[in-house]
Amino acid sequence: MMLDIQELIGHLHPVLVHLPVGILLIGILFYWLSRKEKYSGLRDSVSLLFLLGAISAVLSCITGYILSDAEAYDEGLKNWHQWMGIGTALLSVGVYYFSRKPEQRVWLNSLSLLMLAGIFVTGHLGGSLTHGPDYFSKPLAELWGAPQKAEPVFKKPIPDIAEAVVYKDLIHPVFQARCASCHGEKKQKGKLNLEDEEGILKGGKTGKAIIPGKPDLGELIKRLTLPVSSKDHMPPKNKPQLTDNEISLIKWWLADSADFNKKVRMMQQPSFVKPALLAVQNGVDTQAVKISDVPDAPVDPAPEEVLNMLKSRGIVILPVAKNSNYLSVSFIIAPATDSNLVLLEKMSKQLVWLNLGGSKISDNGLRSAGKLVQLTKLYLNDTNITDSGLHYLKPLKRLQYLNLVNTKISTNGLSQLTELKALRNLFCYQTNIHGRDFDQLKQSFPRANLDTGGYVVATFAADTTVYKGPGK
């Protein structure tokens, strides 16, 4: 119980710390204004403001010290913030003392200016401690036309990708570059440490960060795939975001078993991870930083009767995030019949991700898909769709991800979708698109990451079953 009370007191620091800042700033303002006869009426309130400011500054120091003991922060930055806070609190006591002695105005003038500087420096250090060292510098850089860009994680190619240790060579560098500033050895927000195996498996305050074999159930993937605007999205929107390739690598590692010692050649390579492996192998991640694929605007829940009817037919419907009304639909079990697809139109405001991969959907069935105007992801891989059906997708102005792998589409069909300006990821290998057709597509979709296959990532034993006939 004592530990709980201590933690509660520490968590009062973010609340209390704003009191001395506001009160002391007003006190300084009133003091300097009261020196003019026009504002002499403010003199009576100056000492009271400095007294209240000094008391709240001392309380802020106490709660801050308790918080620093309970949470993990960068030691160097924490010490500077701590001592600057104590110094500013002592200055506030001095300012109050001299405010009651008009004959000592010279001291009051000097100490009030020193305290003003202390407030701003301490505030800067506190913001950097809580939100990262670029908390103030980044907005200023953007204001002056120099926005900070995320440094690529894999700056050097790993030619022998087959022998790379998945965690050490592919996952840990991503955690270091994108997560360690808040969840490393020096600072552990939410008591989560992604620096080492023990911390990753332990998780944090909100639960398990990862669940081996079940990537979508752990907090890590949930937070990474939330809308960027969400307060629970990680990393925070003011920090460099992960690319789709980086998220694919993490999902792949988690889906296999989250083994810390396996090499790439020991793991199956599903199609979604091959572009990421190729990027690492070449040392070039050409993908843009991940854009939120869930709308920011709130939306009403989908009609309950429609949801129940679809679920009764075996259609998998899931929210894209906790407490979100935006939905993901997959036809893993149920057939993608025209009647089932027509039902989806009744929740066109809520449906953002639709997986029709491997289904028997026809060109005519794409009529209904084209009416789901909120779609940002659409999987049509391994279906019998042709160029004739693609024109139905023209209204999908929000579409960012389109998977057409192993279909009968061609360049002529895709040319009907050039007005989809939001498209960022287009998968179109194992189709009727070949050779120079891809060059044409790159011109037609300049903003999209065009996945054309042709990977040079080796096929490993784990991917292949060798059949030996009788007697062999």
As for how many domains the chain has, the answer is 3
Q: Which of 53-57, 230-234, 300-304 has the weakest average pLDDT?
A: 230-234
**pLDDT given at position 439:** 78
d(CA 227, CA 243): 14
Q: Which of 228, 254, 289 lies at the terminal end of a domain, its last residue?
A: 289
Q: Which of 236, 263, 289 lies at the terminal end of a domain, its last residue?
A: 289
**pLDDT given at position 150:** 59
Strand 377-379 vs strand 351-355: parallel, antiparallel, or unpaired? parallel
Cis status, amide bond into 235, omega within 30 of 0: yes
Strand order in the sheet with 377-379: 316-319, 327-330, 351-355, 377-379, 401-403, 425-427, 449-451
pLDDT digit string (tens) for 341-380? 888 999 999 999 999 988 888 898 899 999 999 999 999 9
Task: Provide the residue range defining the domain that includes 215.
Answer: 161-289
d(CA 109, CA 112): 5
Q: Please, which pLDDT band fits residue 469 given cuts at 50, 70 and 90?
A: very low
- Regarding whether 391 and 308 lie in a shared domain, the answer is yes
Residues 6+ apart with CB under 8 A from 179: 194, 234, 235
- CATH for 336: 3.80.10.10
In a domain, 138, yes or no: yes
In this structure, what DSSP letter does residue 296 have? Answer: S
Looking at the chain, the whole-number percentage of residues with pLDDT higher than 90 is 23
Please tell me which residue, 279 or 416, carries the higher pLDDT value: 416
In a domain, 297, yes or no: no
Q: Which of 229-233, 375-379, 396-400, 466-470 has the weakest average pLDDT?
A: 466-470
Q: What is the largest CA-CA distance in the chain?
A: 110
- Regarding whether 425 and 313 lie in a shared domain, the answer is yes
pLDDT digit string (tens) for 100-122? 887 788 888 899 899 999 898 88
- pTM over 0.75? The answer is no
Q: Which of 261, 289, 317 lies at the terminal end of a domain, its last residue?
A: 289
**pLDDT given at position 466:** 42
Contact 359, 338 (CB under 8 A): no
- Regarding whether 206 and 344 lie in a shared domain, the answer is no
- Regarding whether 124 and 11 lie in a shared domain, the answer is yes
